[in-house]
Amino acid sequence: MTGDERTPKVAAVGAYAPRFRISADEFREAWGQFHAAGVNGKAVPDADEDTLTMAYEAARRALDAAGTPEISFLAFASTTPPMAEEDVTARLGGMLGVPDDATLHVFTGSTRAGTRALVAGLAAGPWDDGVGLVVAADAPRGEPDSAEDHAAGAGAAAFVLADDGPASVVERAEYTTEFPGTRFRETGESSVEGLGVTSYDRRAFSETLAGAVEQVDTGAVDAAAVQAPDGKLPYRAAGALGVGIDEIRAGALVHELGDTGAASVPLSLAKSLADGYGRILAASFGSGAGADAFVVEASDDVPVSLALDGDDPVSYAEYLRLRGDLTSGPPSGGGAYVSVPSWRRTLDQRHRLLAGKCPDCGALNFPPEGACNGCNSLGEYDDVRLTGEGTVEALTTISQGGAPPEFAEQQAKSGDFDVAVVALSGPNGGEASVPAQVTGAAPGTLEIGDSVETTMRRIYTQEGVTRYGFKVRPTGEL
């Protein structure tokens, strides 16, 4: 299928990977061997990160690069959504300020989900009153000492689709055939598995991808974004796909991020566009087996905002702790109970930084309730959204054992963490003092007076429902 003038174009791109990294050598030291061929290291989510928060990070960057347009269509893709049954696009949409009447879709169940979401976005547009936003985020995991876990990384990529944009999908096709067992995760399980039959896996991968690629006119491409379960399989399929090793290497991120599942091809496509390649082949594979293939042409530089460089190495023991495999056990006591309905009533503040401006003195108040902290008057505040940028006013470190019970799980995974009072800026001047956890930086890194910015992370989980909200990190950390 070829593109036409009514098909939306890629107007901007964002991408994100966690700052923590574990090297292949750490696995070799722990297990005596490393099963993920061609992977030098991989990205590891922080204790308060999951695919929803990574999707927010990538989406925010794409939207900023596009000039923060209004969203009419939102698609989220992942094989590891934070909830097995819940439309997480509602939460993601709330964090991003997506209008209530926007179209929302979730794609999951296959590493092909990222390109499925992108194809759906291309088919849904164009939109008269906004843009489309497609986000793929993934963090697969396997059983310890399995090839799947040794390769499993994390990351997210986001694409803004609009009538006008410098990149177009000019060819696309799909192909399916039956190859059960190449990669699967049973209902109720968290770890992905495979049969481990190498010849069967290679045949399924190469034949299925080739079935899709053969239907498009690839021409001479500058880069190839190919599904990467490890660092060798994409190169083994080069001949079947009609591309060279150099083209695959140009788009590859698996060597430093690991297997990013449904985000693998979107991330490689984001990298290829950021590097200025003019014609790119994208080819995704999902076990079962199915494949998508499309050709992207860029007539000009695509606005991009990528945060893929991680510089915080972790040991294998720290890796297990961040995964939750090594903890001190459940906390004693139930912690401060906040019902889901009560939490929902605060989402404007926690997700959208809604503050109140006093009509009498103009002071900003967060949360927007009670007496004004500037003049002590009582009345209705004017709604104001804080910018998410500010400076540290006060700071303390919560050491091991000092966290409230509801935060004990996070502390068991990540260790000590900082809490700050931050003066967040208003859109037209003024500041509001806001308490927040610090993320993205080691305890003691920040000092009073330092600049910070907000991001979305997991806060804690009660009654099986995770509470998300803003935290702060050093400005420009990513």
Residue 237 has pLDDT above 70, yes or no: yes
Identify the H or E element spanning 389: strand 389-398
pLDDT of residue 357: 96
Which stretches of 381-459 are DSSP H helices? Answer: 408-414
Residue 445 has pLDDT above 70, yes or no: yes
The conformation of residue 448, written as its DSSP 8-state character, comes to: T
Residue 210 has pLDDT above 50, yes or no: yes
Q: Do 226 and 268 touch, CB atoms closer than 8 A?
A: yes
Sign of CA dihedral 442, 446, 447, 448: negative
**pTM assigned to the model:** 0.93
Q: Look at 150-154, 371-375, 381-385, 404-408 and tell me which has the smallest mean pLDDT.
A: 404-408
Beta strands in 100-196, from DSSP E residues, in sequence order: 103-107, 131-138, 155-162, 167-179
pLDDT of residue 332: 47
- Return the percentage of the chain with pLDDT > 70, whole number: 95
Higher pLDDT: 6 or 208? It is 208
